[in-house]
Amino acid sequence: MPVQILDSRPRLRKTLIGLIIFLVLFGLFGFFAAPHIVRSMAEKHGSEFLGRQLTLKEVSINPYTLELSLSGLRILESNEETEALSLARLAVDVEWSSLFRGAPIVRSVEIDQPRVRLARIDASTYNFSDVLNKILDQPSTDDEPARFSINNIVLRGGHIDIDDQPLGRQHTISDIEIGLPFVSNLPSDIALHVEPSISARVNDAAFALQGKVRPFIDEREATLKLELKALGLARSDEYSPVPLDFRIATGTLDTDIEIGFRQPLKGEPRITLRGTLGLHDLKIDDKSGAALIKLPALDVVLNEIEPLIGKVDIASVRIDQPDIDVARAKDGRINLLSLVPSARSEPADAAPTDTPAAASQAAATTKPDIKIALFEVVQARIGVIDALPARPFAFVVEPIDIVLRDFSLQGDAPATLVVDAKGDGGLQVTVDARVTASTMSAEGELTVASLDIPRFAGYLPPSLDFIIEQAQARLGTKLKVALIEGVPQGQVTVTEAGVAGLKLVRKGAKQPFAQVDDIVLSGATVDLAARTVKVDAFDIVHPKLRAAREADGNIDVAGLVTASSPPTAAAPTAGDSQPQGAPWTALLGAFRLKDGAVRFEDRTLTKPGVVELDKIALTVDNIGTDKTLKSRIDLAFRDAAGGLFGARGGFSLQPVSANLKLDARRLDLLAGQPWMAERLNAELLRGNVSLRGDLGLQVAPAGSWALSWNGETTVADVHLTDRIHASDLLKWRSLFIGAVALKLDSSKPDLLSSLSVGEVALSDYFARVILSKEGRLNLQDIVKQPASAPTSVAPPAAPVVAAPPVTANPPVTPKPPASQSAALAKMIDAARPPVDVKTIVLQGGQVDFSDFFIKPNYRAQLSKLGGRVSGLSSKSGTAGEVELRGVVEGSAPIDITGRINPLAGPLFLDIKANARGIELAPLSPYSGKYVGYGIEKGKLSVSIAYKIENDQLTAQNNVVLDQLTFGAPVDSPDAIKAPILLAVSLLKDRNGVIDINLPISGSLSDPQFSIGGLVVKVIVNLIVKAVTSPFALLGSLFGSDADLDHVAFEPGRASLGDTARSKLDTLGKALTDRPALKIEVTGRTDRETDAEGYRRALLDNKVKAVKAAKSKLPVNEVVVDPAEYPDLLEAVYKAASFPKPRNIVGLTKSLPVSEMETLILTNTDVSDEDLRLLGLARAQAVKDYLTQQAKIDDARLFVIAPNTGAKNGEKTTDAKASPARADFSIK
C-alpha cells in the first residue's frame, strides 16, 4: 500500500528520495569530511590568531546528534618549544533547537585533563599578554549581549602550572574538578544531571565547593555555597593579566556566599547570590610604596543579587575607618587613577552601528535594579596633597561619617542620606537629604562651616597679586531638585553663605590692604524651572580698605590683578547647542555694607595726601537684572575729623534716573590740603563744609542728561594762609548758601539751565591783600604758575589809559526805539538761563591791605564790613538793592547803597558810596612817591554816585580833603612835575577843606572807555588847571563858569560894572574860603581902547564937577539928569581953553550938544601918564571893592604897577577879554 501511494504520487516519491539522499550525503560529509575541515581550519586560523602553534590530534563529528569531539589539543609557546595549553578531550553536545532559536543551546560540555602553563615574565607581562592584548584590541560593538544556554558542564583532571619568574616562585593548581549545571540566559528544557561543584588542590592544599541540583522538578535549581575565611590578598595584584599601577600590600577576603542556579521551563534562567562578603586590613599602595587606600573593614550583607538581570538587593554595606590619600603630582597625574587599568583606545574609525532607538532599547533592557537598605561609612579619612599649584595644597578631612538608608535605583520611596564630616582648620560639613534615584530628585540640607580659604590659595589665578591671609567660609543650603527629561527642575535655597575674618595682603607686604569681619549672603533662592535667582540680603560687615596712588600715578589695588592672555575660545561647531529657554533673572532684596572704613593715600604729591572715612554704611534695596526696577540707596560715612555725610533716595537703571536726599555735616576740608598745596600758594589750616538738599539725575536713552540740586550749603570755620608771605589770607566763620535751585542740562551750551539762590550769607570774614616788594598782589600768586611760565618779579607797568576827553556835554549814543528795546530784551531773556539771587548778606567783615612795594611800607584796614544785596536776577529790567557798610582804620565809616543788576543785560547800576574821615597820614608813603611831599595830617571823605543805564555812564565823584598838610619834600622820580602846594592852596577853603567834584560820563560800548582812566584824567586836568588857570579853577569851585583871573572895565574908566562886581564877589568868596591865598592886582590900559573912553570919562567928570560945585556933593555921588546935561556941558565947553567957533560979534558961538562934545573930546589930550594912572585906578578900584565889600584883608591884596599895553604878545587867558581890565595873579 505505501509503495502504491508513492507510485501514485510521484512528487512525494521524488521528495522522499531527495531527502534520503541529502541525509546520506549530510552524514557522509559530517562523519568523514567535516572533521578534517574543522581540524585544518582550527590549526591554521588558531595558530595565526594566537601567534602560536596549535595542533589537534583528532576531530570527530556526529552530524545527526550534533556532537563534536576534539582530542589531543596542544598550543605551544611562542618559542614553539614549551607547551602552553593542552587537553585530552573536549566534547560538546549541541541541541538541534539552536537552529530555529538563533542561539546556541548546548546539552552538555565535557573537558578532560586540561593542562595550562602560566608564566609571569615581569611585573605586568605574562606569556599570554600578547594574546590578551590582541583580544582587547578587537573593535567593540554595541550589539545586545549574545543569547546562549550551556548545560551540564564538566571539567575533569585539570592542572595549572604557574611560573612567577620575577619572584622566582612556582605555583600549582592540580586535580581541578568543576561541575556546573548550566550557564544560560535562555530558557531551555535540557535535562540536568550535573551537580554544581568545584574542587582542586592549590599547592597541595585541597579546596572544594559543593552545590545541589534538583533536576526532577519543573524548575531546575542548583545551589553552590562559597565560604572563604581570611583568604590572603597580599601581592595578588602581581598576577593580574592586565598591567596595574598599584599593589595590594595587605588584606584578607572572607565570604559566605550561596550561589543559586535556576532554569524554569519557561522564561529566563536565573543566577542568584546571597550571603556575606568581607574585606579586612586591606592596604593598597602605588608602585612607589606610598599608601593609596587603607581599609580596615568592609562588610557587605547580600539579600539577593541576580547578575543576569541586573538586580542587586543589599541589606547593608559598612566601611570602617577607610583612609584614602589623594595626590596630584606636578605633571598633573592623580595617584588614584592608578587603580584603574590603563584604557586602550579604540581605532579611530570605530563607530557605533546601533541606531539611537536600538541603543535606547538596549539601555532599557539592561537597566539595573539596585537596592541598598543601609550603606555606612564610619570614621573615614581623606587626605589630599596637590603639588600642581604654585603653592602646594594639603588638606585632611576626618572623621567622615556617611549613612545612606533605603536606597533604590528604581523605587519611588526616597533614600535618606546623612553625612557628617570634619576637616583641617575646623571644617565641618553636614548633609541631611532625601534622594530618589528613579526620579533623579533630591531634597535636603547641606551645611558647611569653618572652611579655611587660605588653604586653597594655591588654586587662585596666578594673575592675582595678593594672597588670602585669613578667611573662614560657611554655607547653609536647602534644596529640592529633580532632573526631568534631562532638564534640572526645582529650587535651591541658601539660608546663609558667608566668609568671616577675610584678610587680603599684597604679595611681599605685611599689612593687609583689605579686611572684612563678615560677608553674608542670606535667603537666596534659585528656581531652576523659572530660571530666577532671588536673594534676600547680601551683607558686608566692617570692611576696611587701604588704597594708594603710587608715585607713578597708578592705583595700587588696581594692579592687584595682572593682565593675562585670555584663553582662546574654541569655535562653535554645528553640533553645539546652547540651553534653550527664557534668560535667567536675578533680584537682590538688599545689599548692605556696615561699619566700613577706607583709607586712601596719594603718593604723587609732595606731601602725601590721605583721606580716611569710617562708619561707612551703604544699603541698596531692590537690585536685579530687570533694569526697570525702582531701587533705593542709603549711604552714610564719617570723615577723620568727625564730619558726617548721608545720602538716601531712589534710582533706576532704565531709564537712568536718581533722586537723592543729601545731608553732610561738617565735612573736613583740611584733608584736601595736600592736593591744594600742589596748585595753590596757600595753606588751608581748617575748614568744613555742610550741605543738605535734594539731588536729581535723569539720563535719556540718547545719552543726554539733566542734573538738579535743591538745597543749601555751608562752608564754615575756614582759615587759609599765604605760604609766600607767611600770613593769613582768608578766614571766615560761615559762608551759607541757602535755598539753591540749580538745574544743569547737557543740551545747553554752557550746561546751565537755571539757577536760583535764596540767600548767601558770609559772616565774620577776613581777607588780607598784599602788594609785594616786587609789585605783585598776593591774589595774583595764589595759583601756582607752571614752571614753563615764570612770573616777572618786576612791578607791572602802569597801563596808559587813553581816556576820551571829558566834556560838559558828552556825545549821547542814540537810543533805539522803545519797541526794539523791548524785543531785544525779550530775546536776551530767552537766550540767557534764568539766574536769581534773592539775598546776599555780609556781616563782620575785615580786609587788611599791606603794601611792601612802597617805601616806607603801608598798611590799612577795612573792618566791620556788612550789609546786604537783594533781588539780583538775570531778567532784563530788574535790579537788586545794595546796602553795604564798613569802617576804615577803625574810625572812618564807609557805606554803599543803590541798585545793581550784574546778571542781566545790558548792565544796570545806580550806586552811591560814601566814606568819611579817612586819615591821610598813613598814606604819606604814596604822597611822597607820587606827589613829592609827605603828608603830616589830613582826612579824606569821598562821596560818589555812579549810574550805568543803556551802556551809558554818568558819575559824580565828590572828594573832600580836610586839613591836608604836606610835610617835607621827597625826592621821588615818580612824583608829578607840578606845583602841588599851589594847587592845594587853591583848593583849600578857609577851614582847610578841599572839596572837589569830579563828574565823568561816557559810553561803555566804547572799547577805549575806562572808568579808572577817566578819573585819573579828571584829577590830572584839575592839577594842570590849578597851575595854568588857577582863577578858572576857583571859579569852577564856586559854581561859576567865568574865569576869575581878571575883571573888565569900560574903556577909559576905572569904575566897576555889574559883571565885574559879580566876578569880584565870586573871587571874594574864594579868597575868604582860602585865607592863605594872596593875590596881586595889575591894572591894564590900552591906548587904542582906553584913549577915547578916557576922554569921555574926563568929560563926564567935568560935567559932574559943574553940578557938584552947585550942589556941594562929591563928584562920584553926582547924578546928571539928561535934561540938565546940555547946560552943564555948555558950562564945561565955555570953560575950556581950546579955540572955539565964534559968532559975528566975536562971542563963543552956541553949538549943539554933539558938536560941543566933539570939540571937547578932540581937544582933550591923553598922555601915557594918564593911562598909567588909569591902570592904577582900576587896580585900586578892585582892591577897594575886595577890602570893602568882600572884606578881604588888605595885607592879602597887592597893587602892581599898571600895564599900559601888551608886551611881547602877552594875552589874557581869555583871548576875547577886553584890554581895559585888571588882571589877578597868585602871589
User: For the segment 638-650, what is each residue's pLDDT rounded down to a tens digit?
Assistant: 999 999 999 999 9
Neighbours of 458 (CB within 10 A): 17
Least confident among 42-51, 418-427, 1144-1153 = 1144-1153
Which of 874, 871, 883 lies closest to 839, judged by CA?
871
* pLDDT in the model for residue 66: 80
In tens, the pLDDT along 101-152 reads 778 888 888 999 999 988 878 766 888 888 888 877 777 665 666 777 888 8
pLDDT above 70 as % of the chain: 83
- 1009 with 1057, same domain: the answer is no
Q: Which three cell numbers stand for residue 254?
A: 572572607
- Residue 269 sits at the vertex; the CA angle it makes with 263 and 273, to the nearest 5 degrees, is 95
Cα 96 to Cα 38, 181, 291, 1127, distances in angstroms: 19, 20, 56, 203
Q: Is residue 1036 part of a domain?
A: yes
Which of 1027, 1052, 1084 is at the close of a domain? Answer: 1027
Which of 500, 479, 483 lies closest to 425, judged by CA?
500
- 986 with 1047, same domain: the answer is no
Q: Under 8 Å CB-to-CB from 418, ≥6 apart: which residues?
A: 401, 402, 403, 404, 430, 431, 432, 433
- 970 with 1091, same domain: the answer is no
Neighbours of 944 (CB within 10 A): 17
* pLDDT in the model for residue 538: 93
- 922 with 1071, same domain: the answer is no
- 956 with 1071, same domain: the answer is no
Cβ density class 948-981: b for 16+ within 10 Å, e for less:
beebbbebebebbbbebbbeeebeeeebeebebe
Please report, for the domain that includes residue 1081, its CATH number. 3.30.1330.60
Distance CA 177, CA 179 (A): 7
DSSP code of 642?
A: S
- 1040 with 1134, same domain: the answer is yes
Q: Is residue 169 part of a domain?
A: yes
* pLDDT in the model for residue 39: 87
Instruction: Check: CB of residue 142 under 8 Å from CB of residue 352.
Output: yes
* pLDDT in the model for residue 366: 56
Instruction: Check: CB of residue 236 under 8 Å from CB of residue 252.
Output: no
Q: Is residue 382 part of a domain?
A: no
Q: Is residue 96 part of a domain?
A: yes
Q: Which three cell numbers stand for residue 28?
A: 557522509
Q: Is residue 1090 part of a domain?
A: yes
Q: Is residue 794 part of a domain?
A: no
Instruction: Check: CB of residue 722 under 8 Å from CB of residue 730.
Output: no
Is the sign of the CA dihedral 776, 782, 787, 789 positive or negative? negative
Residue 6 DSSP SS3: helix
Least confident among 229-238, 832-841, 1019-1028 = 1019-1028
Is the pLDDT at 1071 greater than 60? The verdict is yes
* Mean pLDDT along residues 880-895: 86
Of 78-92, 1014-1028, 1203-1217, highest mean pLDDT: 78-92
Distance CA 105, CA 442 (A): 46
- Residue 1066 sits at the vertex; the CA angle it makes with 937 and 1015, to the nearest 5 degrees, is 50
Distance CA 112, CA 106 (A): 17
* pLDDT in the model for residue 537: 93
Instruction: Check: CB of residue 173 under 8 Å from CB of residue 159.
Output: yes
Question: Domain tally for the chain?
Answer: 3
Q: Under 8 Å CB-to-CB from 684, ≥6 apart: which residues?
A: 669, 670, 672, 673, 676, 718, 719, 720
Instruction: Check: CB of residue 311 under 8 Å from CB of residue 104.
Output: no
- 982 with 1111, same domain: the answer is no
Rounded to 10 deg, the angle between the 1030-1037 and 1058-1073 helix axes is: 90
Distance CA 671, CA 691 (A): 17
Q: Which three cell numbers stand for residue 374?
A: 543601609
* pLDDT in the model for residue 610: 93
Cβ density class 296-314: b for 16+ within 10 Å, e for less:
bebbbbbebbbeeeebbbb
Instruction: Check: CB of residue 423 under 8 Å from CB of residue 397.
Output: yes
Least confident among 340-354, 418-432, 843-857, 1197-1211 = 340-354
DSSP code of 1131?
A: H
Q: Which helix (H) or strand (E) holds 1111?
A: helix 1087-1111
* pLDDT in the model for residue 643: 94
Instruction: Check: CB of residue 1125 under 8 Å from CB of residue 1153.
Output: yes
Which of 68, 207, 200, 215 lies closest to 152, judged by CA?
215
- 1021 with 1074, same domain: the answer is no
In tens, the pLDDT along 923-956 reads 888 888 878 888 888 888 888 888 888 878 888 8
* Domain hosting residue 70, numbered range: 1-202
The amino acid occupying position 1074 is R
* pLDDT in the model for residue 823: 52
The amino acid occupying position 222 is A
Is the pLDDT at 1006 greater than 90? The verdict is no
The model's confidence at residue 343, banded by pLDDT at 50, 70 and 90, is: very low
In tens, the pLDDT along 1095-1118 reads 888 888 888 888 888 777 787 778
* pLDDT in the model for residue 977: 76
- 973 with 953, same domain: the answer is yes
Q: Which helix (H) or strand (E) holds 12?
A: helix 10-28
- Considering the chain, what is the average pLDDT of its residues? 80
Q: pTM (2 decimals)?
A: 0.66
Which of 149, 176, 202 is at the close of a domain? Answer: 202
Distance CA 548, CA 278 (A): 65
Which of 156, 184, 202 is at the close of a domain? Answer: 202
* pLDDT in the model for residue 367: 67
Q: Under 8 Å CB-to-CB from 1191, ≥6 apart: which residues?
A: 1068, 1072
Distance CA 1030, CA 1226 (A): 8
Q: Is residue 813 part of a domain?
A: no
Q: Which three cell numbers stand for residue 1072?
A: 575868604
Instruction: Check: CB of residue 867 under 8 Å from CB of residue 894.
Output: no
Distance CA 1022, CA 1029 (A): 10
In tens, the pLDDT along 835-879 reads 889 999 999 988 888 888 777 787 888 888 888 888 888 887 788
| Residue labelled with grid coordinates 582933550 | 1164
Least confident among 26-40, 432-446, 775-789 = 775-789
Is the pLDDT at 274 greater than 70? The verdict is yes
Q: Is residue 530 part of a domain?
A: no
- 160 with 28, same domain: the answer is yes
Least confident among 214-223, 483-492, 972-981 = 214-223
- 1213 with 1129, same domain: the answer is yes
- 1017 with 1113, same domain: the answer is no
* pLDDT in the model for residue 1174: 86
